[in-house]
């Protein structure tokens, strides 16, 4: 297993667990945006640059501000 793959994949697992364990929803959404960005880097490494650029625009951008708009209209703490 190459070293960069190991770091990125372990970052994915750690940030997924952190999303599940965080009580603050705003922190959870921001950690999820970082998760999506690392996922885009992994797809670039896997040879799928189309999926990487779409994930960086849709997953890390659009999903985050949809979640933020919802949290600003509902409660922030879980």
Partner 1 sequence: MEIISRLLENYYYFVSMVLFIIGIHTMLTHSNLIKKVIGMNIMDTSIFLFFVSIGYRRGGMAPIIQPGVEAEMYVNPLPSALILTGIVVAVSVTAYALSLIVELYKQYGTCCANEIAQIRAREES
Partner 2 sequence: MKDIVIRTVCRVIVPFVQVYGLYVIFHGHLSPGGGFAGGAILGSSMVLFALSFHLEAGAQKLGHETSSYLESGGGIWYILIGLLGLALGSNFLTNRAAGLGFGLPGQLFSGGMIFLLSLGIGVKVASTMFTLFYNLSEEEGSGGDHQ
Minimum distance of partner 1 from residue 37's CB (angstroms): 12
**How many residues form the binding site for partner 2 (CB under 8 A)?**
15
Question: What is the token pair recorded at 14?
Answer: 């750690």
Q: Tell me the window of 1-9, 14-22, 24-32, 58-66 that interacts with partner 2 (CB under 8 A).
A: 58-66
Minimum distance of partner 2 from residue 65's CB (angstroms): 6
Interacting residues toward partner 2 by CB under 8 A? 49-50, 52-54, 57-58, 61-62, 65-66, 69-70, 72-73
């Amino acid at each position: 297993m190459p070293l960069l793959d190991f770091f990125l994949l372990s970052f994915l697992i750690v940030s997924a667990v952190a999303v599940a364990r965080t009580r603050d929803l705003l922190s959870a959404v921001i950690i999820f945006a970082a998760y999506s960005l690392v996922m885009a880097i992994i797809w670039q490494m896997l040879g799928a640059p189309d999926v990487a650029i779409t994930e960086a625009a849709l997953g890390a951008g659009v999903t985050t501000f949809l979640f933020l708009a919802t949290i600003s209209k509902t409660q922030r703490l879980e």
